[in-house]
Homo-oligomer: A and B are copies of this chain.
Amino acid sequence: MDKAHSSRSARSALEPRQGAQAIRRALSVLRILAAGREDGVPLAEVVQATGLTRPTVHRIVHVLIEEGIVERHDRTGRYAIGNQVPELALARPRPSPLLVAAGPSLRRASAEIGDTLFLTVRTGNDTLCVDRRIGAYPIQVLSIEVGARRPLGVSSAGVAILAALPAQDARKIVTANEKRFDAYRTDAATVLGQVTAARRRGFGMREIGLVQGTTSISTWIKTPDGRPAAAMTVSAVRTRLGPRREQEVAEILLREARSIEQAIRSSA
Contacts and interface: CB of A to CB of B under 8 A. Distances in A.
A93 B145 contact: yes
A85 B85 CA distance: 7
Interface in A59-117: 59-60, 62-64, 66-69, 80-94, 96
B37 A91 contact: yes
Given A26-B26, A38-B94, A15 B66 contact: yes
B123 A84 contact: yes
A4 interface: no
Given A17-B63, A19-B63, A88 B91 contact: no
A81 B91 contact: yes
A145 B94 CA distance: 12
A89 B95 CA distance: 13
Most-contacted residue by chain B among A60, A90, A145, A146 (CB, 10 A): A90
Contact of A87 (B15, B33, B37, B128): B128
A24 interface: yes
A267 to B, nearest CB: 15
A189 to B, nearest CB: 29
Copies per complex of this chain: 2
A93 B37 CA distance: 8
B85 A81 contact: no
Contact of A90 (B62, B66, B147): B147
Interface of A: 15, 17, 19-24, 26-27, 30-31, 33-38, 59-60, 62-64, 66-69, 80-94, 96, 121, 123-124, 128, 130, 145-147, 149
18 contacts: A20-B60, A20-B63, A23-B23, A23-B26, A34-B87, A34-B91, A37-B91, A37-B93, A38-B92, A68-B124, A80-B91, A85-B88, A85-B89, A87-B121, A87-B128, A90-B130, A93-B145, A93-B146
Given A23-B67, A86-B89, A90-B130, 15 more contacts: A20-B26, A20-B60, A22-B22, A23-B26, A24-B63, A24-B67, A33-B91, A34-B90, A37-B92, A38-B93, A81-B92, A82-B92, A85-B89, A87-B123, A90-B128
